[in-house]
Amino acid sequence: MNYWQGAVLGLVQGVTEFLPVSSSGHLVLAEALTGVKPPGVFVEVMLHVATLGSVLIVYGRRLWELILGLFQRSPDRIRYIGLLIVGSIPAAVIGLLFQKAIEEQFHSLTWLGIEFIVTGLILWSTRHLGGDKTVPGWGSALGIGAGQAFAILPAISRSGSTVAAALWAGLTPAAAAEFSFLLAVPVIAGAALLEARHATVNIAAVGLGPLILSFVLSFLSGVYAIRFLVALLRRGRFYAFAPYCWAVGVLTLIWAVWRG
């Protein structure tokens, strides 16, 4: 991977990670367009770690409050941490059981196209939704977690599926965004730990300089993407990305057929 390819991948990841259009799907498309052939899913995971840093910047104060609440034995904050743990279980189970199968299909353009279309359907289903809850119930947390587990597929948007599930559960847009983004922290951190076993070999194959550039651009653009999405949610325009996902899905399928 050279520097311009690293810059493209970093910006694509940062901008699309928190917008409900699937960052992984766009990364695979960007890799195909730029000719990058990374080993396994190492680059994708490292760029997700960069956007994890974006979450820590935007929601760092909230995370610190939760950590303090744990030591102060605050019932509300302990319950919220418990909800995040419950919501993390489905993705952890699916990731451990089906990691190899998912990696084998990760760069399939045909599956990407289908998954983009499904993401669009998920987003479209949220029109006219608007609840008043600020915290999900236990069942809702598990349902939101199931949405996150579904997003292990590359072109199923993680933010799209989890925010949509939270809106279906009756959360306010701001609360849905917060729970969705905080829920990403343990899953992305866990994926990074799994990939860290092969870090030395993969960094050598990718190139340290381009990887650092990609990481920094992904982190910075991710901060702005989070703030943009929260503003969009508050205006009730979350579903507006559905036509875009459908268009990308159809074009990806056409490209897959053309490439044979």
- The tokens for 143 are 């349902």
Q: What is the pLDDT of residues 109-155, one digit of tens each?
A: 888 899 999 999 999 998 877 788 999 999 999 999 999 888 888 78
107 pLDDT above the threshold of 70: no
For 76, 109, 184, 202, 221, the CA distances from 207, given in Å and listed in that order, are 45, 25, 27, 8, 21
pLDDT band, residue 84 (cuts 50/70/90): very high
The reported pLDDT for the residue numbered 39 is: 58
The reported pLDDT for the residue numbered 137 is: 93
The reported pLDDT for the residue numbered 199 is: 55
| Mean of pLDDT values over 219-239 | 86
Among the listed residues 109, 237, 91, 219, the one whose alpha carbon sits nearest the alpha carbon of residue 158: 91
The reported pLDDT for the residue numbered 29 is: 81
CA distance 144 to 226: 18
pLDDT band, residue 200 (cuts 50/70/90): low
- Residue % of the chain over a pLDDT of 70: 87
204 pLDDT above the threshold of 70: no
Q: What is the pLDDT of residues 16-63, one digit of tens each?
A: 888 888 877 887 788 777 777 665 566 777 787 888 888 889 888 888
Burial class (CB in 10 A: 0-12, 13-18, 19+), 68: exposed
pLDDT mean across residues, the chain: 83
DSSP 238: G
- Name the packing angle between helices 42-58 and 3-18 (round to 10°): 50
161 pLDDT above the threshold of 70: yes
Asked if 116 and 22 count as a contact pair (C-beta separation under 8 A), the reply is yes
- Name the amino acid, one letter, at 188: I
Give Cβ neighbours of residue 158 (< 8 Å, ≥ 6 apart): 17, 22, 23, 148, 151, 180, 184
pTM (predicted TM-score)? 0.82
Residue 30 in 3-state DSSP? helix
The reported pLDDT for the residue numbered 194 is: 63
Q: What is the pLDDT of residues 188-198, one digit of tens each?
A: 777 666 655 55
The reported pLDDT for the residue numbered 87 is: 93
**Rg of the chain (C-alpha set):** 18
- The tokens for 165 are 């599930």
The reported pLDDT for the residue numbered 146 is: 93
Q: What is the pLDDT of residues 238-260, one digit of tens each?
A: 888 999 999 999 999 998 888 76
Alpha-helical (H) ranges within 125-172 are: 138-150, 158-168
The reported pLDDT for the residue numbered 198 is: 53
* Segment of 67-71, 202-206, 208-212 carrying the highest mean pLDDT: 67-71
12 pLDDT above the threshold of 70: yes
CA distance 136 to 180: 11
13 pLDDT above the threshold of 60: yes
The reported pLDDT for the residue numbered 125 is: 92
CA distance 56 to 254: 38
CA distance 243 to 260: 26
